[in-house]
Structure 1
Amino acid sequence: MSFTEAVLSVFSKYAVFSGRAGRPEFWWFALFNVITAGKMFAMQRVGVIMRRAEPYRPARGVSAHAIDHHPSPR
């Protein structure tokens, strides 16, 4: 069983709960998962999937005046 056959087989039987997968099918799909996770992680690191973090903003209900104008130590 080739890599492509194994991955297609797993996706075509994702809701079949009888029987077992063969050893090559299992390991090819495990490799597919590792490769996919690595690509997703790399894309996340460069900001393709998730937005960049927004600049700091005070929590709701906290007045900007209270944060910006704190009393100076004497």
Structure 2
Amino acid sequence: MLTINVTVLLAVIVVRRLRRRTQARSRFDEKLTVVIVLALGVLIAPTQAGHGIRNSLGQLASGVTKAGR
């Protein structure tokens, strides 16, 4: 039996949609892409990878803040 991880499927959809030319997108396409990306973020957030991304971005933001002082 084939099992498809929803997060991986959404990631593939996002990459495919973002590779399209900007001029070819309608407003509906752009809104749909935003909704899909938000759903992907919700699915990634509670995972170990999501925590790692959050920690990395937090360290980056902290470094930028310290460098700006």
Do they fold alike, i.e. is TM over 0.5?
Answer: no
Q: Give the structure-2-normalised TM-score.
A: 0.40
Of the two, which has the highest radius of gyration? 1
RCO greater where, 1 or 2, for CA within 8 Å and sep 6 or more? 2
Greater helix share, structure number = 2
